[in-house]
């Protein structure tokens, strides 16, 4: 069984691969409805609907 940190790392790497492939549907499928994105350039972005424009 993988550790929590390994599972988080695996999802983050999959988000990066999907983003690099410009596959927005796949990127968004990896975020839960209650996800929070912590961008380096601003305030936290809460919930999947608010995260989507960051990738468009």
Domains of the chain (ranges, CATH numbers)? 4-55 (3.10.450.50)
The pLDDT, as a whole number, for residue 1 is 55
What per-residue string of b and e applies to 14-53 under the rule 16 or more CB within 10 Å gives b? ebeebeeeeeeeebbeebeeeeebeeeeeeebeebeebee
The pLDDT, as a whole number, for residue 55 is 86
Average pLDDT, the chain: 93
Q: Which residues of the chain have pLDDT under 50?
A: none
The pLDDT, as a whole number, for residue 2 is 66
The pLDDT, as a whole number, for residue 21 is 97
Do residues 48 and 32 lie in contact, with contact meaning Cβ atoms separated by under 8 Å?
yes
């Amino acid at each position: 069984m993988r550790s929590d940190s390994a599972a988080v790392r695996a999802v983050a790497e999959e988000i990066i691969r999907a983003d690099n492939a410009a596959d927005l549907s796949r990127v968004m499928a990896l975020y839960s409805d209650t996800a929070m994105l912590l961008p380096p350039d601003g305030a936290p972005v809460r919930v999947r609907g608010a995260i989507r424009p960051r990738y468009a």
